[in-house]
Amino acid sequence: FTGSAGISIISQSGESCLFVDGRYTIQASEEAPEFKIIDITQNSLIEWINNKINGNIGLCPELHTMKEILLISDPLIICWILNIRSSDMQYTPIVFGYLILTKENEAHIF
């Protein structure tokens, strides 16, 4: 997917989803046909994760060590860093979740 905004999730069961905003639904469908395309403005990423996972979300230590990442849990900071808003809570556009920033300038939100 060559768009400038998207979040992909691949579950252990093999389900793969690509969350994009409304601008990219058609482009994502054409460029990533193996992914289920979800419009993030219509479906909350956090709600989707909560509905799919019956346990904990883990971090693979072979991929990231604690020295290589910064874990952010403050919803206001997450929104500010990523310049995103959410409808998780009525009248409060904050995101409930966690953000991992890597030394390679990658951002992973869950």
pLDDT for 14: 81
CA dist 33 and 31 (Å) reads 6
pLDDT for 59: 63
Regarding pTM above 0.85, the answer is: no
One pLDDT digit (tens) per residue for the chain, 110 residues? 888 888 888 877 788 899 988 888 999 999 999 999 999 888 877 778 778 777 676 666 776 677 778 888 888 888 888 888 888 778 888 888 888 888 888 888 88
pLDDT for 27: 94
List Cα–Cα distances, 9 to 14, 44, 74, 103, in angstroms. Answer: 10, 13, 22, 21
